[in-house]
Amino acid sequence: MTEGCIDVESIDQTPDRLDGIAGLACSAHSAALLGCGLLVAIGAFGVLLTGYNQSIQAPSQRDDHRREINMLPWHPVQGQRLYVPAYSHVYHQKGDPYFLTVTLNIRNTDVKNEIVVTSVRYFDTSGKELKSLLQSPLRLSPLAATEFVIARDDKAGGSGASFLVEWSAGTKVTPPLVETVNIDTTLAQGLSFISPAFVLDETEPFDSVP
């Protein structure tokens, strides 16, 4: 018999022995198919994750529906100035600060008309203005939204931080939904909560002069 070859005549060819050999061959074939299936599934999952990551939008993204403009495209007939609570940190245990990421979210709820966000300012606990987050008026198309993020390591705001947001519209619209999402996920048990805006003053359509 040549080295490396199997002598077929030397194999026990009783029915039971042949059934065992066939079973082993089927098992090997099934394992190979299973391995190929797992590779295909893993590959498809990787493609899905890649597509998902590409679809995630960066904060404060600008496009045709969220575009900064040089001047208002109409005479404003409706608008509001809003106070929005924010929590750069909260206190826990023995009064230790627990730092959070703050996302200010502004949503145009009108299904037909645009609004323009004219001012977004960030204040600390003492009421001192820390920075303006909007350099030019921001036009939001119907149902469009934008956000502004205060990073977790930006600790200047404190537990009583806030935003002042101003917006206007050239026709009667449904007011936007404005709120902060305050969140941290660095520990095993995350923390998150929402703080809605409060209206400080507003201009209603019937107050304007045609």
pLDDT for position 116: 97
Position of tokens 């009064």? 95
Taking 90 as the threshold, does the pLDDT of residue 166 lie above it?
A: yes
pLDDT for position 40: 47
Q: How many Cα atoms occupy the beta-carbon half-sphere of 127 within 13 Å?
A: 0
- Identify whether the C-beta of residue 79 lies closer than 8 Å to the C-beta of residue 203: yes
Chain segment 33-63, per-residue pLDDT in tens? 555 554 444 454 454 555 555 566 676 677 7
As a whole number, mean pLDDT of residues 135-155 equals 96
Average per-residue pLDDT in the chain? 82
Chain segment 121-131, per-residue pLDDT in tens? 999 999 999 99
Q: Where are the domains of the chain?
A: 8-55, 66-207
The whole-angstrom separation of Cα 72 and Cα 187 is 45
Which of 29 and 152 is assigned the larger pLDDT? 152
pLDDT for position 209: 47
Q: Show the beta-strand stretches assigned E in the chain.
A: 66-68, 78-85, 89-92, 96-99, 101-107, 115-123, 129-132, 138-140, 145-150, 162-169, 177-184, 191-196, 198-203
Q: How confident is residue 208, by pLDDT bands cut at 50, 70 and 90?
A: very low
DSSP H helices in the chain: 15-55
Phi/psi for 127 (5° steps) reads: 90, 5
Range of 14-18, 47-51, 55-59, 106-110 with top mean pLDDT: 106-110
Two structure tokens written together for 88? 């750069």
Q: Does domain 66-207 have CATH number 2.60.40?
A: yes
pLDDT for position 85: 98
Q: How far is CA 14 from CA 5, 23, 120, 149, in A?
A: 21, 14, 86, 76
Phi/psi for 196 (5° steps) reads: -80, 160
As a whole number, mean pLDDT of residues 108-115 equals 98
pLDDT for position 175: 97
pLDDT for position 64: 77
pLDDT for position 188: 78
Chain segment 79-98, per-residue pLDDT in tens? 999 999 999 999 988 999 99
